[in-house]
């Protein structure tokens, strides 16, 4: 799309609008108390995600795209947060940390399948055809998910409801929320621009798609591995290590145009961003106890704020400097501040 007519600035705006919708979805989910209502809006989120993908395939009107990206973000926010909370409540595993690690492998699998599907279509057809095929794929892939994420075939009239309590937001939790905000920044810069970052390096034009495929492949086992480590060594400790690895991956393209190092950069990104979503979501769910959607929603709200801000400062810095280096430096710095916040949160928790 960048090669055809979409400018980098508009790509950044589309990403920011998408994450604005995601932020709205995150806030909305915090106020859903009835499990049956959660299931209802999870299904609505699925429909929005598919419909807005179809819009990208059927029109080149930028206003329609802008609106569709907001709706797509809102839908994906409901799918991720509500879906994760339903799974956490539904599973009967004694060790939910490991089980949620398995659940979040779906993000990596989706990235790999979407890259393979779109890559194949783009070789022979247009980018709009790729969007169309992806919308069809999403429709069929979601059918069983919509069916399975339900507690009963008949909706319960007296479904359990949980009150929202703000007592959860202790200084310790606020630091965790802030750290997840910085991770939202760390996620979105590479999530939005990584293929173009790789393609912009000397001698690496055309390798962006391969790097994105590596992201997905690295992401598939990542949440299982990191969640098992979290069970053994503690969630905060493992989150800190994962964020440090992500910082290294962010900085690699600023230091080298070596193909192997930059593929490692993609692997570090893929193996950390999915795992960090799983780690933070699981931690929020554990702290929230009976109503995991509360902190899951709060975490994702501030994660979403980071996602909205990052593309905007990125396109501004890129337009000034003419490359991605300044953007990547600032992003690495922000994520580093998140690491410091987590280190301080450990001190508060243990004091």
Instruction: Give domain status of residue 150, yes or no.
Output: yes
Concatenated DSSP letters for 96-140? HHHHHHHHTHHHHHHHHHHHHHHHHHHHHS-HHHHHHHHHHHHHH
**DSSP class of residue 164?**
-
The neighbour count for residue 98, using CB atoms within 10 Å, is 16
Concatenated DSSP letters for 27-51? HHHTT---HHHHHHHHHHHHHHHHH
Instruction: Give domain status of residue 312, yes or no.
Output: yes
Separation CA 298–CA 294 (nearest Å): 6
Distance of CA 98 to the CA centre of its chain: 19
Instruction: Give domain status of residue 2, yes or no.
Output: no
Instruction: Give domain status of residue 1, yes or no.
Output: no
The pLDDT of residue 112 is: 87
What sign for the dihedral angle of Cα 348, 250, 255, 215? positive
Residue 143 near residue 159 (C-beta atoms within 8 A): no
Instruction: Give domain status of residue 224, yes or no.
Output: yes
The pLDDT of residue 351 is: 64
3-state DSSP assignment of residue 321: helix
Residue 68 near residue 17 (C-beta atoms within 8 A): no
How many Cα atoms occupy the beta-carbon half-sphere of 128 within 13 Å? 10
How many Cα atoms occupy the beta-carbon half-sphere of 215 within 13 Å? 30
Q: Which of 131, 102, 126 is closest to 114 using CA atoms?
A: 131
The pLDDT of residue 35 is: 74
The pLDDT of residue 250 is: 96
**CATH number, domain at 197?**
1.20.1250.20
Separation CA 323–CA 51 (nearest Å): 34
Instruction: Give domain status of residue 109, yes or no.
Output: yes
The pLDDT of residue 167 is: 65
**DSSP class of residue 168?**
G
Series of mean pLDDT values for 10-residue runs along the chain (351 residues): 73 84 81 78 91 89 88 87 75 62 80 86 86 91 78 53 64 92 91 90 91 91 89 92 97 95 95 88 74 70 86 89 93 97 88 64
Q: What is the span of the domain harbouring residue 258?
A: 8-350
- Number of structural domains found in the chain: 1
């Amino acid at each position: 799309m960048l090669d055809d007519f979409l400018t980098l600035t508009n790509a950044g705006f589309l990403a920011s609008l998408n994450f604005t919708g995601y932020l709205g979805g995150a806030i909305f989910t915090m106020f859903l108390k009835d499990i049956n209502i959660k299931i209802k809006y999870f299904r609505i989120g699925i429909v929005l995600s598919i419909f807005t993908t179809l819009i990208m395939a059927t029109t080149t009107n930028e206003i329609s795209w802008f609106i569709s990206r907001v709706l797509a973000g809102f839908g994906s926010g409901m799918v991720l947060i509500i879906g994760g909370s339903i799974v956490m409540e539904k599973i009967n595993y004694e060790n939910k940390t490991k089980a949620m690690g398995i659940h979040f492998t779906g993000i990596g699998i989706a990235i790999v399948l979407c890259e393979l599907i779109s890559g194949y279509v783009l070789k022979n057809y247009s980018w709009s055809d790729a969007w169309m095929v992806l919308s069809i794929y999403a429709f069929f892939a979601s059918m069983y998910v919509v069916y399975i994420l339900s507690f009963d075939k008949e909706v319960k009239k007296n479904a359990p409801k949980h009150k929202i309590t703000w007592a959860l937001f202790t200084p310790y939790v606020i630091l965790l929320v802030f750290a997840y905000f910085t991770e939202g920044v760390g996620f979105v810069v590479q999530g939005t621009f990584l293929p173009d970052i790789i393609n912009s390096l000397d001698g690496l034009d055309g390798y962006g798609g391969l790097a994105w495929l590596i992201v997905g492949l690295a992401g598939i086992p990542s949440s299982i591995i990191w969640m098992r480590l979290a069970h053994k060594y503690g969630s905060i400790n493992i989150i800190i290590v994962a964020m440090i690895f992500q910082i290294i991956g962010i900085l690699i393209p600023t230091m080298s145009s070596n193909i192997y190092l930059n593929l490692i950069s993609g692997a570090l990104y893929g193996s950390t961003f999915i795992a960090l979503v799983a780690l933070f979501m699981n931690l929020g769910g554990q702290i929230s106890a009976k109503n995991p959607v509360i902190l899951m929603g709060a975490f994702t709200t501030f994660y979403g704020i980071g996602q909205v801000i990052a593309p905007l400062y990125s396109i501004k810095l890129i337009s000034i400097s003419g490359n991605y280096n300044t953007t990547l430096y600032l992003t690495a710095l922000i994520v580093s501040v998140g690491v410091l916040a987590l280190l301080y949160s450990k001190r508060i928790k243990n004091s």
